Amino acid sequence: MNKFIFFQNAANDCMVYPVARLTGVEGEDDSLKFTFASSATGNDTVSVTIADDTDELLVMQAVAQLINKHPHSDGIIVIADDVNSVYAHTSMASVGAAA
């Protein structure tokens, strides 16, 4: 079964990407930037805000563990969902729009 990464930043505004297209996660001062290969435009990025003074590596490890966790009954892995307040790590706070 294919796995997909899910982000939602508002009602009726969500993004789902195949895990296989995740090319990297970059930690910045108070956010993580997820980059996905896109056949149409080159790359898509989704930013997730994290709490100040959070160790980005700990958040990245939580995301990696969630992606590698088995089983996924529906194939959808929720990384950040602002509407339902579901996050891969407790220090995640909000999702930015895809760029």
- Mean per-residue pLDDT for 69-95? 89
1 vs 8 pLDDT, higher one:
8
Q: Per-residue pLDDT for 21 more than 90?
A: yes
Rounded to whole angstroms, how far apart are CA atoms 57 and 13? 28
- 37 beta partners: 43
- Which pLDDT does position 84 carry in this prediction? 95
79 C-beta neighbours (distance < 10 Å), count: 25
69 vs 4 pLDDT, higher one:
4
State the amino acid at position 33 in one-letter form: K
Q: Per-residue pLDDT for 2 more than 90?
A: no
- Which pLDDT does position 74 carry in this prediction? 79
